[in-house]
Chains A and B, each alone.
Chain A
Amino acid sequence: MSAHDGGQPAHDDHGHDDLGIHATLKGYLTGFVLACVLTIIPFWIVMSGGFAKSSTTAVFVLGLAAVQIVVHMIYFLHMNAKSEGGWNMLALVFTIVLVVITLSGSIWIMYHLNSNMMPTMMDPSNLP
């Protein structure tokens, strides 16, 4: 049955292989330094007053957050395309699709809700 595995030499400590994750000090430290930098920059930008337009600052902060989430995924959560035979990545991509639809959809639909709804509801002359 396990003829396919037969060619590999025996593992010295299969504790690693059972868990399927190889954490390294270098990986954690790289992730930590990157995460620190990506945390300090947005805090510094906002606390020092930000850019002239707050929408520019918002885009900047969100962009850095997205990069930091990717850093956490790779260095702390050990994500890659091959872990768990790709099922990890598949679940992640599916989740990201749902999250993007939920977030952008809600904000898009609801953003002008007040300006669209309130005057018509309050102003009797608009009623048929």
Chain B
Amino acid sequence: MSDIATTMPADGGPAQPLVFHEAQDHHPENGTLLGFWIYLMSDCLVFACLFAAYGVLGREYAGGPTGKEVLELPTVALNTTLLLLSSITYGFAVLEMQRDRRNPMLVWLIITGLLGAGFLTIELREFAHLISIGAGPQRSAFLSSFFTLVGTHGLHVTCGILWLIVLMIQVLKKGLIPANKRRLMCLSMFWHFLDVVWVGVFSFVYLMGVLP
């Protein structure tokens, strides 16, 4: 109580700022972001298990095609570029969100979504090509673990794009209210997290997979 008495003259203002601070003391948004972070960490464990499975089975070709034969690095380089670009465009969207500029933010979000869709298209074409040449997930342990790991990441990207679309509709309808900003920050973490996982995928699966 004595604190208030001493700080009020320091503020140089009336008691309004104090009331204002009491009103926003609880910061419920931080709880959401922390909770979402913990979800991401548990997702990280899912991927760790899939990476471990790939690490164990990645060289078990069962007489089928090897990584060097079926993995195409130029395609992966293009995919990596798309995902990295989508990360930075989401970053630009967050910057516009902080400045409360709705339309530029939506434009960046659309670009992000298109880059994500491009990534998915290329990945699905790669999968279709592999299956068409008889290198489907049932061919060998290597391909099973490959499809599971890369496919799970692709599934996450798909969910991210759906979430992005839903959020854009919400922002269009209700504007940049605090709840929407909080959701956008959660999706931001999710999207950047997927890029982190992809760093592991292209390094551990593709680049190391083509090594002799």
The proximity string for B residues 43-76 relative to A, scoring 1 for CB distances below 8 Å and 0 otherwise, is 0110011011101100010000000000001000
Is there contact, CB below 8 Å, between A72 and B21? no
- Provide the bound-state CA to CA distance between A88 and B32, in Å: 12
Residue B55 contacts which of A64, A68, A103 (CB distance < 8 angstroms)? Answer: A103
Is there contact, CB below 8 Å, between B33 and A20? yes
Q: Is the interface of A mostly helix, strand, loop or mixed?
A: helix
What range describes how many residues of A lie at the interface? 35 or more
- Provide the bound-state CA to CA distance between A92 and B34, in Å: 11
B155 within 8 A of partner (CB): no
Contacts of A84 in B (CB 8 A): 30, 33-34, 37
Which residues between 19 and 41 of chain A lie within 8 Å of chain B, taking CB atoms? Answer: 19-21, 23-25, 28-29, 31-32, 35-36, 39
What range describes how many residues of B lie at the interface? 35 or more
CB distance from B6 to the nearest CB of A (A): 8
Is there contact, CB below 8 Å, between B48 and A2? no
Which residues between 103 and 125 of chain B lie within 8 Å of chain A, taking CB atoms? Answer: none
Given A39-B80, A61-B203, A84-B30: 7 more A-B contacts, CB < 8 Å: A3-B7, A14-B24, A18-B29, A61-B208, A64-B203, A91-B37, A113-B56
Closest 4 CB pairs of A and B: A65-B203, A106-B52, A28-B91, A3-B3
Chain A residues engaging chain B, CB cutoff 8 angstroms: 1-10, 13-16, 18-21, 23-25, 28-29, 31-32, 35-36, 39, 42-43, 46-47, 50, 54, 57-58, 61-62, 64-65, 68-69, 72-73, 76-77, 84, 87-88, 91-92, 94-95, 98-99, 102-103, 105-107, 110-111, 113-114
